[in-house]
Structure formats: structure tokens, C-alpha cells
Chains A and B, each alone.
Chain A
Amino acid sequence: MFFIKKIFLFFKRELKLFFRNIVSIFSNILFFFLSIFIFVFALGADEQNLKSIGLGIIWSLLVLSSTLSLRKFYEEDFNNGVLVIIHMRGISYELIVFLKILSHFLFVQVPFLISIPVASLLFNLPIYEVYNLIFTFIIGSLILSCLSSMSASMNLLNKANFSIGGIIVLLFSVPVIIFSVGINEVDSDFKSLINILIGMALIFLGISPWASAAFIKLALRNK
């Protein structure tokens, strides 16, 4: 019981932080929309053309925008020592990472879901593509949260080269993009692609707590 209360307190704190940082999350969404505008003007507003490439643009911009908030993932908690305090209370680093991934998924990625229908409206996407997009994004954003966790914890002590964190997220999101956009190919087998996506999400969910916890311990030791 005591343990569940700790987890509950963790999420309560994350929720508080979410409301404090709500402006930065909406700035990310604003970045997403502005990039869509830039894409549309760069490619020319040809409706047929946009319809055929809209899904790919939306997905790649979602990935790009999710790298924006990368540094926020652990840095604050790391610098003011909250990570150590939570650990002292008796939660292992692996579990902290897992909870962090969940809260990142809930408080950073899910708000993007609001923007997806509007974005698809801008591209005149057919309705089944919008459903597919939302469905794949729910799974894909979980993978993105795992990736962000790994790359953010990797770069905790990185003071020189900021872009490498984003590069790592982009690199590992390549298979996510391939499979999520592949769902809308002429005739793909929806169920088996979704299963593969879920499989990838599970793999990253399994790996990232261990990798991130190793990185965090490494960074704490050399702080």
C-alpha cells in the first residue's frame, strides 16, 4: 500500500509540473503547426499533392517536434537532485525511468493527439487515414517516449554537443516511421503491421528502463 502511495505521489508531482510547464508543451504544438505551414508553402498548396504526402509530413514533424522537449526529460530533476531523493525513498532507478516514460507519454505526447485531427484537416486526409494516424501515433508516441528517455539520460552530462540527442531519437524512429506510414500503403495487412508496431513498443519499453537507469547512475556518479 505504502508503495502505491509513493507512485501516486510521483504522478501528482508530475501533474503539477505539467501545469507549470503547459506553455512549453503548447509551444511544441505551435512549432508543429508552423512547420506544417512551412511545408505547405514550400511544396505549393496543390490539394492532390498534399493529400498523397500529408501523412508522411505529419509523422515526420511529430517526430521532429518530440525532439524539441528532449532536454527537459531528466535535466531539471537531475540538477536539483529530485532523482536522488525519489531514489532514497525506495524506488529503484529503473522504476523511476519507467514512471517517467509513462508520465512523458501522458503529459507530453498525448496533448499532441489534439493537434492531429486539425493537422489532417489541413491536408484533407481521408478519414480512414486519420483513424490510422491516431491509432499508430498512440503506439508510436510510446516508442518515442522510450527513445527520448534513453537519449535524454545519455546526454545528461553533455554540455557541448546538443544535437546528438535529437540525432539518436531520429535514428531509432526510422523503423517506427516505416511501419506506421506503411499502414496506409495501398493494401497493407493492417493487423499484422499493428502487431509489429506493438512488438517494437514492447521491446523499447523493455530495454529503455535498463539503459536509461544505467546512464543516470553513470551521470550521478560523475556529476
Chain B
Amino acid sequence: MSLRFQRLVLILITLVILGAAVLLILFNTKKNIVFFYTPTELIGKKISSGDRVRIGGFVKNSSLKQISLNQYEFKITDNENDLLVFYQGILPDLFKEGQGAVIEGLIENQSTINALSVYAKHDENYMPASIKEELEKNNQWKKDYK
């Protein structure tokens, strides 16, 4: 086999290999390596108490309760399922009801989690505070959970 022919064959093989690789990766775009799970995803998994997980979702409206100083209890929801979270520590500034959050903690049972740390997640919307007030005044302010 001449060098030129070898190189031609190698180029073809490389293209086939790269194509196969791209196909393999594209057909497996299911979220594998995730920073957090949603409550619904968590229910579908086999988990045992004591496992360390990260849960992401929205803080359910009127579920945030302060048990004592620096002790909180709230629900994380993705509009389908809820999880009850206990947390001891300081909450980030942005942490509010209706706001996105990521909880890292240990599972206590199917629907309760002891949070070790709480991160507030903020969305990609930026808006001046004055405009938001105006929208609220006109009852056009709508916060969707998605």
C-alpha cells in the first residue's frame, strides 16, 4: 500500500469514527451529569436515607417557616411534586418564596431532606425594580415557574 493510499484510507476511517462518535453522543443527550435533580426526578430514583443529593426547584409559596433563629423549614417544588427541607444556617439574600433554589443535603426519607447548604438560583431575567413595581400596579406581573 502506498503512503498516499494509506492516508486516504485513514482519512475515511477517521471520518467514520468521528461520525460514529458524534452520533453516539447526540443520541445520549439525556441529562446524565447533573448538578441537581428536580423533586419529580428524585422520586423516580432508587435512593436510600443518608444519600447525599442536590435538589433544585422553586421554594413553594407560603411554605417557608422559621423554626428558630437560623433554623428553617420549607418546601421545594417543581409544580408536580414537593419535598420538605430542613435547614440550619444562613440563607442567601436572594432566597425567597417563589424563587429558584438548589439544596444540597442528606435524604431522611422519601419526602424529607436535611439540607447541608442552600444556594439561591436566579433566572436569566433582569429587570429594573421600578418597572416591576409598575407591572405589579397594573396587575400584569406574572411569575411563571418554568
Contact = CB atoms under 8 A, between A and B. Distances in A.
B52 to A, nearest CB: 9
Interface stretch (A28-36, A72-80, A106-114, A205-213): A205-213
A161 interface: no
A202 B24 contact: yes
A203 B6 contact: no
B1 A192 contact: no
Given A95-B6, A186-B47, A196-B32, A210 B21 contact: no
Nearest to B22: A199
Contact of B30 (A90, A94, A189): A189
A94 B10 contact: yes
Interface in B3-57: 3, 6-7, 10, 14, 17-18, 20-25, 27-28, 30, 32-33, 45-47, 51, 53
B14 A210 contact: yes
A46 interface: no
B33 A206 contact: no
A200 B53 contact: no
Nearest to A3: B1
B130 interface: no
Interface in A148-183: 178-179, 182
Contacts of A92: 3, 6-7, 10
Given A90-B1, A193-B32, A202-B17, A186 B25 contact: no
Interface residues of B, number: 25
Contact of A202 (B6, B7, B18, B46): B18
Nearest to B24: A199
A182 B31 CA distance: 12
A90 B2 contact: yes
A209 B13 CA distance: 11
A198 interface: yes
Interface in A1-49: 3
Contacts of B7: 92, 94
Interface string A182-196: 100011110011011
Given A92-B7, A95-B6, A188-B32, A195 B17 contact: no
A91 interface: yes
A91 B9 CA distance: 12
A194 B20 CA distance: 14
Contacts of A202: 17-18, 20-21, 24
Contacts of A203: 17-18, 21
Nearest to B27: A195
A114 B17 CA distance: 29
Given A192-B28, A196-B25, A202-B18, 17 more contacts: A90-B3, A92-B6, A94-B6, A94-B7, A98-B10, A186-B45, A195-B24, A195-B27, A198-B21, A199-B25, A199-B28, A200-B25, A203-B18, A206-B14, A206-B17, A206-B21, A210-B14
6 contacts: A3-B1, A92-B3, A94-B6, A186-B46, A198-B21, A203-B17
10 smallest CB-CB distances across A and B, nearest first, come from: A199-B24, A202-B21, A192-B28, A187-B45, A199-B25, A206-B17, A199-B21, A203-B21, A206-B18, A92-B6
Interface of B: 1-3, 6-7, 10, 14, 17-18, 20-25, 27-28, 30, 32-33, 45-47, 51, 53
